[in-house]
Structure 1
Amino acid sequence: MATDPKSKGKKLNNKQEKENKPADTGKKAGSQADKKDKTARRRILPIWLRIILVVLFSAAALIIGLMVGYGVLGDGDPTDALKLDTWKHILDIVTKTE
């Protein structure tokens, strides 16, 4: 019998019973799925190479951001953003004590 309130008193046919029946999870199906999960996966890029690439891309993004911010937005020479004298001048302005 169906537990749906709309179909109270109605008997389900075989097709409807199969649709409402939960999937059978026997040992064979579970063990095959476990074997697939345990097989070693070959990675295209090793973990250590991924870490190095993330660090390199982050550094490149920082340098590009500095140059765009200083050169384009700040109306200066973009290569000046990479010079040490520029950063000393900026720190002097920020930590100015009178």
Structure 2
Amino acid sequence: MENIDVQSETRQERRQQKHENTKEEKQRVRKPKKLRVKLIPIWLRIIIVLVLVVVFFLIGAMIGYGVIGEGSPSDVFKPSTWSHITDIIDEGTPAEAE
């Protein structure tokens, strides 16, 4: 009986040593994590994206009105141009009944 107990103890000891060895190996092999430094904070990224959207919208409107629509590209910034465009759009829709 004692022989069996000794064997089981040695098995447990071997398992424990093996487990400890693998932990040590993993810690040695593991590379230290790199700290990621964000050069541009998230709030500034959002502002930059919104500004770029507005800029590209204006450039697209100038190209669309000036080149495709054969008008002056600077006329895009006049309120009369936009009121004329909304009048053309509203012309095809039925009036609201009051």
Q: CA deviation at 1:82?
A: 1.5
Indicate whether 1:55 and 2:55 are aligned.
Answer: no
Identity score, percent: 41
- Counterpart amino acid of residue 63 in structure 1: L
- Per-residue CA shift, 1:3-62, capped at 9, x if unaligned? xxxxxxxxxxxxxxxxxxxxx9x63267x34x51xx542111111111110001110000
Matched with 1:10 is none
Q: Which runs of no fewer than 5 residues in structure 2 stay unpaired? A: 1-21
Matched with 2:70 is 75
TM-score calculated relative to the size of structure 1 = 0.61
Q: Which runs of no fewer than 5 residues in structure 1 stay unpaired? A: 1-23
- Counterpart amino acid of residue 77 in structure 1: S
Matched with 1:93 is 88
Q: Give secondary structure in 1 for the equivalent of 2:64.
A: helix
Q: Name the CA distance, whole Å, in 1 between partners of 2:74 and 2:66.
A: 8
How many corresponding residue pairs?
Answer: 70
Larger radius of gyration: 2
RMSD after superposition: 2.3
Matched with 1:13 is none
TM-score calculated relative to the size of structure 2 = 0.61
- Counterpart amino acid of residue 56 in structure 1: V
